[in-house]
Amino acid sequence: MARPAAHPLAGKAMSGAQVIVQVLADEGVGAIFGYSGGAILPTYDAVFTYNEEQKRDAGRQMPLIVPANEQGAAFMAAGYARAGGRVGVCLVTSGPGATNTVTPVRDCMADSVPILVICGQVARASIGTDAFQEAPVAALMGSVAKHVFLVTDPARLEATVRTAFEIARTGRPGPVVIDLPKDVQNAQVVFQGQGQLAIPGYRARLAELTASALTDSLAAGFFQLLAEARRPLIYAGGGVINGAAADELTEFARTFGIPVVTTLMGIGAIDTTAALSMRMLGMHGAAFANYAVEDCDFIVAIGARFDDRVAGDPRKFARKARRMAHLDIDPAEINKVKSAHWSHVGLLPEALRALIAHGTRTGFSADFSAWRAELDQLRRRHAMNYDRDSELVQPHYVIEEINRHTRGEAIISTGVGQHQMWAAQMFDFRMPRLWLTSGSMGTMGFGLPAAVGAQFANPARLVIDFDGDASIRMNIGELETVTTYDLPIKVVVLNNFGDGMVKQWQKLFFKGRLSGSDKSLHKKDFVRAATADGFKWARRLDRKRDVPAVIEEFLRFTGPAFLEVIIDPDAGVYPMVGPGLGYDAMITGDFIPARPQEGPAGEIEPSGMF
């Protein structure tokens, strides 16, 4: 076997900062998101000189995208990673620069998103002295990141950065943080062009995962369970998308005729317009999706973790399911919430291909047409609906109009709240990595910076930040970032003057006491704010009859565009399953028909009431 060619820069003397930048280039980084400061200036200077050299040699540059603050930078890196399927990179200074990224790092850990955060740090001799802009990054990040490195030996810097990328993207992806003293950045080292740190335990687990083939006997056990089923249902989570298994999931579902529900993070794992798609399940899942879970007799969980927003009361989740199968890359998820009768830990694409091959080779056949017909009927009877006669602008109508133009092919990012759930319920997504939202952490302010990162990852695709008035306030400074880089992002703000989701909960569970949730936030003129930040197209939409024309103009505008929509302040997100409850307690609201449910003693009670 021929030895790989040596790196063209191997043996060259470089500063630590130059080494970092060269490794980023070697890893194919397409953009760096960050905010400068004293402790990271050597690396910022190295990025500048690298890009100048690439300009002269017609090489590939790494644009440095400067946000309004470091939280925005890390969420941009997350949006880049989620939309592009690559490691996003965030480069910030020490102290407050680093601590401002703690929330995005935890957000990425919770949703298994691979980013690399490189934080400047005070010089090694000053660590622990409460020096200016010093923060204990390793201690802070150690509990929220997949891994943290504090680099104290300049000779190990190159290997550390390469290893950080490896850890971020492999196995169950996640955020990795490098705490980088300023004197290490300035140190002179010899560039090797290769090499990684010794992390034998981690690599041994990865090798075990990779080698964990789904055997014929295990596959046969799965198909024995499937043969006994009459109403099987696939429950697909974000692991399908993170594991690049969406194509295999779709093929698996089609080959054996099994319908699919997805979690919030799994949206796009199967085309939402496909016949087998039953859309999103859970707390705000479609009524027909939750009824499907109630009725199924065999659950096949793939890359999903039975979180509390899906299995509010685990004892009641899929109560009629006699068997449960679980495929995941993380052994910690198996039997964590629900016991599996059959399970496999390994890479999802390979596992699904093995099941497809075994079923095809052995001639497995089962007729689930009656079950699919039942689900088609559920879809029709309990379809998403809203107050179509209201004179006020309903958020659902806005989504329907946008969706009519985008046809499930736009990237949609969101903040967190009611607008997030309406978007999840009603937008179409024809493929994975078009839906970007903060799932497990539920971080308000995620949507706008994530849209920026997504646009850099996919320059040719339409990117829409679908946001709420309270959520966008959290990182509203990034409006200027959009126009500074002339990104054709479309920003929609649904304005119901306050924290709509919190108000909905307060109305349902706290006798309507709106403690702090309206905050009297009625003063902000979002259109003038967007105009001040450089948006050439910025409009307010408050009349129902204007919705189609304004949305068409908004989406056709070639540059950044901002649309504030004044929506019905009392519009609610339905269906809704209260926290810790089963799907039998689902509230369907006034416009989605509910079906009778069996009560504890066998009596029938309406599920549309709470």
What is the set of active-site residues? 70, 132-133, 182, 501
Q: In angstroms, rounded to a whole number, what is the distance separating the alpha carbons of residues 290 and 257?
A: 19
CB 410 within 8 A of CB 439: no
Residues 6 or more apart whose CB falls under 8 angstroms from that of 598 comprise 584, 604
Angle at 561 between CA 557 and CA 562, to 5 degrees: 140
- Are the C-beta atoms of residues 264 and 439 closer than 8 Å to each other? yes
Residue owning tokens 């903040």: 415
The whole-angstrom separation of Cα 490 and Cα 424 is 18
For 432-446, b/e burial (b = at least 16 CB within 10 A) is: bbbbbbbbbbbbbbb
| Element spanning 200, H or E | helix 200-211
Q: Which bin fits 257, alpha (ψ -120 to 50), beta or left (φ > 0)? A: left
For the chain, the straight-line distance linking the first and the last C-alpha, in angstroms and rounded, comes to 69
- Length of the chain equals 610
Q: Which residues contact 522 (CB under 8 A, 6 or more apart)?
A: 497
Return the closest-CA partner of residue 75 out of 448, 426, 386, 581. 448
Burial environment of residue 249 by CB neighbours within 10 A (0 to 12, 13 to 18, 19 or more):
buried
Q: Are 445 and 469 in contact (CB under 8 A)?
A: no
Compute the distance between CA of residue 105 and CA of residue 175 in angstroms, rounded to an integer: 6
Question: Strand runs (DSSP E) across 445-517, as ranges?
Answer: 463-468, 490-495
Under 8 Å CB-to-CB from 18, ≥6 apart: which residues? 46, 49, 50, 191
Q: CB 197: neighbour CB atoms within 10 A?
A: 16
User: What is the spatial order of strands in the sheet that 232-236 belongs to?
Assistant: 277-280, 260-262, 232-236, 298-302, 323-328, 342-345
Which amino acid, residue 585? A
CB 181 within 8 A of CB 148: no
Asked whether 282 and 314 are in contact (CB, 8 A), the reply is: no
Longest dimension (CA), the chain: 80
The tokens describing 428, both together, are: 């179409």
Report which of 161, 194, 117, 163 is spatially closest to residue 16, judged by C-alpha positions: 161
CA 187 to chain centre: 38
Paired residues of 436 in beta bridges = 413
Give me the helix-helix angle, 418-426 and 500-509, nearest 10°. Answer: 100
